[in-house]
Amino acid sequence: MFTQAPSRILFSKTRQRSVTVLVLAAATFSLLFASPAFATDAPSHQPSNQTTTKTPDNVGIRLTEVPESLANDPRARLYIIDRVAPGTTFSRAVEISNDSPNAHLIDVYASGASISAAAFIGSEGSTANELSTWVSLSTPQLSLAKRLVGTVVATIAVPADASAGERYAVIWAQVHTPNKATGITTVNRVGIRIYLSIGEGGAPASSFEIKSLAATREADGTPTVKALVINTGGRALDISGELNLTDGPGGSSAGPFAVTLGTTLAIGATDPVKIKLPRALPAGPWLATLTLHSGLLAETASATIEFPDIGTNPPVPATRSTPLLVWVLPAIIAVLLIAAALGLWRLNIRRNKLVIGEPSKPRRKRIGNKRHAPRH
């Protein structure tokens, strides 16, 4: 919301309209190009429509609410990715479902986690780390009959003396399934990741770069593209995306091909992202265009590659592409608003010429049918 302080300068109505349009143009421009704000208090929530993640026993888990400040971020519907100040306490509702034909006693607990070799890894069992000790659950177990759901509230209480930085943990739903015939009990669990950034003020900016693309052919003959990606920001990233191939043999094209999921880049890490392609794909050369996402972030880069008969060709530096809509649409809106403001400003000058600098000429008086100039 923008407000204008009262002024003692008097404007004509036309000038008021000109000033209003200029203020709106400036406000719109700042909204289009300013960095997003982040909340540092315990965030407010709205419902989540996230799909449930399930174990082989059809026991599932999902978040049922996300912070309003992250409502448009797809990662916030999958994981807890908040930024909070030391001393903050907040909660999340987690839905656990039993879609199996059998009743289950489900253990619910938090454990530590880490990021290593481009993977988010939950600790074995209930092994704790600093963040997991800050997590408390409304119940440690849920007894769910078949086709029923239950809710567990996870509360995260960050100590007032917590140091700045990002920490990782998992909230698990775990089920034990005994096999009476073999006497073996199978343990399956499914969880929700926690990426918690601690610190005053807004969250560190997230960013990444696609440095190069390399064409490789695996031992079984599968062509694969390996993209070298660098996390240049201050938050961990979960990478997804797609690859398109154009300008191939005979002008052919192929794709899109999905990025292999499960790649998580730690802060400052440089790791490969893989895209597996059909075996029948010609060797090329191809113009490979890769678009990667992490939440609301997106980067696109391209390079000309050719697949070897076996092994890996040298990586080719990637050329970054900026989607037109990222800057063209805001620029067009800003130009139109400024043009409208200038148009009204010029119209205002014309209408106020007589008032500002052109004194009116004396009018002749009419007496009967004759005109007489006024006496001086």
Contact between residue 214 and residue 226 where contact means Cβ atoms under 8 Å apart: yes
Tell me whether residue 1 is in a domain: no
pLDDT for the residue numbered 186: 85
Each residue of 229-240: pLDDT tens digit? 999 999 999 999
Nearest to 76 by CA among 54, 39, 45: 45
CA distance 371 to 186: 114
The phi and psi torsions of 370 (rounded to 5 degrees) equal -115, 150
pTM: 0.71
Each residue of 68-101: pLDDT tens digit? 888 889 999 999 999 999 999 999 999 999 988 8
Supply the CATH number for residue 233's domain: 2.60.40
In this structure, the answer to whether residues 189 and 221 fall within a common structural domain is no
Domain interval for residue 290: 208-325
In this structure, the answer to whether residues 183 and 264 fall within a common structural domain is no
In this structure, the answer to whether residues 119 and 167 fall within a common structural domain is yes
Q: CB neighbours of 125 closer than 8 A, spacing ≥ 6?
A: 111
In this structure, the answer to whether residues 177 and 117 fall within a common structural domain is yes
pLDDT for the residue numbered 124: 87
pLDDT for the residue numbered 324: 45
Per-10-residue mean pLDDT, the chain, length 376: 30 34 34 31 42 72 89 91 96 93 93 95 93 97 93 97 97 89 87 96 94 96 96 96 96 95 94 95 96 95 96 96 54 73 71 54 54 55
Supply the CATH number for residue 103's domain: 2.60.40.10
Per-residue HEC secondary structure of 191-204 comes to EEEEEEEECCCCCC
Each residue of 262-315: pLDDT tens digit? 899 999 999 999 999 999 999 999 999 999 999 999 999 999 999 999 999 999
Tokens standing for residue 63: 């978040």
